[in-house]
Amino acid sequence: MSSEVSSDNPIYGPFFGVMGAASAIIFSALGAAYGTAKSGTGIAAMSVMRPELIMKSIIPVVMAGIIAIYGLVVAVLIAGALEEPSKYTLYKGFIHLGAGLAVGFSGLAAGFAIGIVGDAGVRGTAQQPRLFVGMILILIFAEVLGLYGLIVAIYLYTK
Amino acid sequence: MTNKNKKGNGGSGVNGNGGSSKLAKQRSQDSQDYSSFKTVLFYCLLIVFLPVITFFLMKGFVLDRFFSMSEMKVNIASAVGAVVSLHLALGLYIYRAYFGAPGSGSKKLD
């Protein structure tokens, strides 16, 4: 195997792909965890007085969970394309690292946004129910940031 | 808590009627909580598992059906399918939370 290793297929080529797959799920999960925890504190504070609003207030938590699924999809795609160094060019490794970082950091940013908006939005909805539509719209715009990362990652993956 | 209510009710006797209505109210509240919990659990499981199942089903199914498709295209198709199904489930949940939620409307009137 070592005889087939050239400058295009170095032994460390798959390292970049593996790091791409790992960073896709690690950073997405980090963002999703922050979003869940931050909006979870808001839900816990709000539910003491308005327990009937639980169904509406779970939405930020669900949206934060979806961020992690974006990372999971890209990580599974990259992990499926990994091969041993002789069949895996360095270029492919860079592409996969870029795809993983794209979805990972976008997910991190979207998770932070969902957490902060979810916390404030859920507390506000308890006092003024008409805020709910606004909260959902802001959450969707935060969620779309993660989706943009997913689109770029899939586009990179097809290169 | 329910047990304590019952005990107080038996001891005083005078406001037994009020106590039993309180108990019934608590019971209806419990069943309402349970039904809303069931709904939330159903949608959460749907949102978590639907995309994963869609991804692997599409991967296996599309690979079988259109064998001429390259591995890359099958992967992309199943990833896009998983994300689309995920958003459909999320849309259903938001729709249900916004328009459905029969519990919250009647609760507010009380």
CB contact under 8 Å between B90 and A66, yes or no, is yes
**Per-residue pLDDT at B10 exceeds 60:** no
Is residue B3 a part of any domain in this protein?
no
Is residue B107 a part of any domain in this protein?
no
Between CA B82 and CA B18 the distance in angstroms is 53
- Give the mean pLDDT of A36-43: 96
Residues of chain B contacting residue A70, judged by C-beta atoms under 8 Å apart:
83
Is residue B75 a part of any domain in this protein?
yes
> Residue A110: which CATH number?
1.20.120.610
**Per-residue pLDDT at B6 exceeds 50:** no
Residues of B with CB under 8 A from a CB of A: 33, 36, 39-40, 43-44, 47-48, 51-52, 55, 72, 75-76, 79-80, 82-83, 86, 90, 93-94, 96-98, 101, 103-104, 107-108
Is residue B65 a part of any domain in this protein?
yes
Is residue A84 a part of any domain in this protein?
yes
- Our count of domains for chain B comes to 1
Q: What is the pLDDT of residues B27-53, one digit of tens each?
A: 887 887 788 888 888 988 998 899 989
Confidence of residue A5 (pLDDT cuts 50, 70, 90): low
Is residue B16 a part of any domain in this protein?
no
Which residue do the tokens 């406001």 mark? Answer: B15
Chain A residues 76-105 with a CB less than 8 Å from chain B: 76-77, 80-81
Q: Report pLDDT for B7.
A: 44
- Our count of domains for chain A comes to 1
CB contact under 8 Å between B98 and A136, yes or no, is yes
pTM of the model: 0.81
Q: Report pLDDT for B31.
A: 82
Is residue A26 a part of any domain in this protein?
no
- Give the mean pLDDT of A106-111: 97
Q: Which of B35, B39, B29, B37 minimizes the C-alpha distance to B110?
A: B29
Confidence of residue B109 (pLDDT cuts 50, 70, 90): very low
- Which structural domain, as residue segments, surrounds residue A97? 31-46+58-158
- Give the mean pLDDT of A133-144: 94
Is residue B7 a part of any domain in this protein?
no
Confidence of residue A88 (pLDDT cuts 50, 70, 90): very high
Q: Report pLDDT for B18.
A: 59
| Residue in B with minimal Cα distance to A56 | B97
**Per-residue pLDDT at B64 exceeds 80:** no
Is residue B4 a part of any domain in this protein?
no
CB contact under 8 Å between B79 and A77, yes or no, is yes
- Give the mean pLDDT of B84-98: 90
Taking a C-beta distance cutoff of 8 angstroms, is the pair A158, B72 a contact?
yes
Q: Report pLDDT for A148.
A: 95
Q: At what angle do helices A90-127 and A59-81 cross, to 10 degrees?
A: 170
| Residue in A with minimal Cα distance to B33 | A52
- Give the mean pLDDT of A67-82: 94
Q: How far is CA B36 from CA A46, A51, B81, in A?
A: 17, 11, 29
Is residue A68 a part of any domain in this protein?
yes
- Which structural domain, as residue segments, surrounds residue B92? 37-100
**Per-residue pLDDT at B5 exceeds 60:** no
Between CA B74 and CA B61 the distance in angstroms is 10
Which residue do the tokens 């690690």 mark? Answer: A26
**Per-residue pLDDT at A46 exceeds 50:** yes
Q: Report pLDDT for A69.
A: 93
Tell me the percentage of chain A whose pLDDT exceeds 70. 97
CB contact under 8 Å between B40 and A54, yes or no, is yes
Confidence of residue B8 (pLDDT cuts 50, 70, 90): very low
Amino acid identity at B82 = A
**Per-residue pLDDT at B67 exceeds 80:** no
Q: Report pLDDT for A53.
A: 86
Q: Report pLDDT for A56.
A: 87
Is residue A13 a part of any domain in this protein?
no
Taking a C-beta distance cutoff of 8 angstroms, is the pair A113, A56 a contact?
no
